[in-house]
């Protein structure tokens, strides 16, 4: 197995601040915007961006939710073992809101397709955008693209991009793993 560092902690930090600024450019004071982190791993990115927006850019009353897509995936019946769902925490109305989905990696687009289905149970947003830290190029199975991307990565199919957060490991990093 080989492992290459795509982004180190400093680079992740710079990208997070850029993404936060791009969100502010579009959504101003976020009065009609909600952020939704996709479980499980979009949660870390969503919480980190929310922290920057609130603590450094003084956005007030920022709404952040978490959405589990386990049973909305088109492959969930293919699993051999029982699936374990994560929590969904959306304690606000999404009807007529600008929703920003947040996930760590965009690859085939199937997770986002599932999220688009799942969010319908909560209402009809005015608009849904997508923010991803890593956009794997030329790998989409569906016509889904990010509105905000941290870094575009070219990887071959047997490679995997792993986003590691300091909340889970010692420091932020993005790796390209080749098995």
Ligand X SMILES: O=P(O)(O)OC[C@H]1O[C@H](OP(=O)(O)OP(=O)(O)O)[C@H](O)[C@@H]1O
> Closest CB to ligand URA among 97 and 149?
149
Q: Report d(CA 135, CA 139) in Å as an integer.
A: 9
- Beta carbons within 10 angstroms of residue 79's beta carbon: 10
Which residue's entry shows tokens 């990010």?
146
Q: Least distance (Å) from ligand X to the CB of residue 59? A: 25
Contact 149, 165 (CB under 8 A): no
Residue 70 CA to residue 169 CA, distance in Å, equals 24
Chain positions contacting ligand X, by CB under 6 A: 38, 40-41, 103-111
Contact (Cβ atoms closer than 8 angstroms) between residue 15 and residue 177: no
The distance of closest approach from Cβ of residue 165 to ligand URA in the complex, given in angstroms and rounded to an integer, is 12
Per CB under 6 A, 160 contacts ligand URA: yes
Is 173:133 a contact under the CB 8 Å cutoff?
no
Contact partners, residue 164, CB within 8 Å, separation at least 6: 171, 172, 173, 174, 175
Least spacing, CB of residue 31 vs ligand X, in Å: 28
Select 27 or 136, whichever has its Cβ closest to ligand X. 136
Site for ligand URA in 88-117 (CB under 6 A): 105, 107
If contact means CB under 5 to 8 A according to the sort of partner, which of ligand URA, ligand X, none does residue 160 touch?
ligand URA
Question: Which of 49, 59, 161, 174 is the binder for ligand URA (CB under 6 A)?
Answer: 161
Does 136 help bind ligand URA (rule: CB under 6 A)?
A: yes
Kindly list the residues in this chain that would bind ligand URA in the complex (CB under 6 A): 105, 107, 136, 160-161
């Amino acid at each position: 197995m080989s492992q290459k560092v795509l982004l180190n902690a400093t680079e992740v930090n710079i990208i997070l601040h850029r993404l936060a600024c791009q969100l502010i450019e579009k959504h101003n004071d976020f009065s009609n915007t909600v952020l939704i982190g996709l479980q499980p791993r979009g949660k870390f990115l969503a919480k980190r961006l929310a922290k920057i927006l609130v603590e450094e850019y003084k956005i007030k009353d920022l709404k952040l939710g978490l959405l589990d897509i386990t049973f909305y995936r088109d492959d969930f019946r293919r699993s051999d073992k029982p699936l374990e769902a994560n929590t969904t925490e959306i304690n606000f109305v999404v009807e007529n809101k600008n929703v920003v989905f947040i996930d760590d990696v965009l690859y085939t687009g199937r997770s986002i397709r599932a999220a688009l289905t799942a969010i319908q149970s909560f209402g009809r947003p005015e608009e849904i955008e997508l923010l991803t830290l890593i956009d794997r190029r030329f790998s989409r199975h569906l016509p889904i693209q990010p509105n905000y991307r941290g870094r575009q990565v070219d990887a071959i199919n047997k490679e995997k991009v792993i986003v590691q957060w300091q909340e889970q490991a010692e420091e932020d990093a993005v790796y390209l793993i080749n098995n």
